[in-house]
């Protein structure tokens, strides 16, 4: 003889909803032509028994379009449940033009007869990629003339680019003997 014990079937917890974790830090701003980036997106599934499980590796994404600028709704799907977030796709920025920027702590006021002094002067090239490069030592400096008082402009040239630095030439103070 044997005894049969019938156990009640435990109800499987039901998936109630999925949600993007509040601690997620993910990309929502794209440029036209960029690929979708899921880095940082963390998705949890919440069940009827109170459990939550990280299901990030098992979700599907839809709605991404970077072919044209605009706002798009990204839908994340897991076992028939969805979570959504918005992204923005912007036009690619205009190609940068190269230009020179003058900076640094340099002498801008001279007395008649003084020589040009570029100590502290920094010439920065802003290139087409938006990069900045110190090109001070590769520049030529022309046009400085301290023979007479007034405003003068030094022309700074790097390759085919140039810019001007306004400088001021002041009179040498005259020394009068004390009476």
Contact 167, 108 (CB under 8 A): yes
Cα(94)–Cα(114) distance, rounded to whole angstroms? Answer: 44
Secondary structure of residue 129 in the 3-state scheme: coil
pLDDT digits (tens, 9 = 90+) for 57-93: 999 999 999 888 999 999 999 999 999 999 999 887 6
pLDDT of residue 175: 75
DSSP string for residues in 142-177:
E----SSSEEEEEEEEETTEEEEEEEEEEPPPPP--
Task: Indicate the burial class of 121 (C-beta count within 10 angstroms; 0-12, 13-18, 19 or more).
Answer: buried
Q: 0.85 exceeded by the pTM?
A: no
Q: How far apart are CA 113 and CA 75, in angstroms?
A: 72
pLDDT confidence band for 143 (50 / 70 / 90)? very high
- pLDDT score, position 172: 83
Separation CA 94–CA 32 (nearest Å): 12
Distance CA(120)–CA(138), nearest Å, equals 15
Phi, psi of 77 (to 5 degrees): -120, 135
């Amino acid at each position: 003889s044997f005894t049969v014990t019938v156990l009640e079937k435990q109800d499987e917890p039901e998936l109630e909803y999925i949600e993007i974790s509040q601690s997620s830090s993910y990309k929502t701003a794209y440029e036209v032509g960029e690929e979708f980036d899921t880095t940082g997106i963390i998705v949890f599934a919440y069940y009827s028994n109170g459990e939550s499980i990280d299901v990030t590796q098992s979700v599907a994404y839809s709605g991404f379009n970077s072919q044209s600028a605009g706002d798009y709704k990204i839908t994340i799907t897991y076992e028939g449940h969805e979570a959504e977030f918005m992204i923005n796709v912007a036009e690619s920025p205009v190609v940068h033009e190269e230009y020179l920027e003058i900076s640094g702590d340099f002498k801008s006021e001279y007395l008649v007869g003084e020589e040009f002094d570029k100590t502290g002067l920094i010439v920065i090239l802003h290139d087409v990629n938006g990069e900045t490069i110190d090109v001070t030592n590769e520049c030529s400096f022309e046009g400085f003339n301290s023979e007479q008082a007034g405003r003068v402009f030094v022309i700074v040239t790097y390759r085919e680019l140039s810019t001007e630095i306004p400088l001021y030439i002041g009179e040498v103070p005259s020394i009068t003997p004390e009476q």
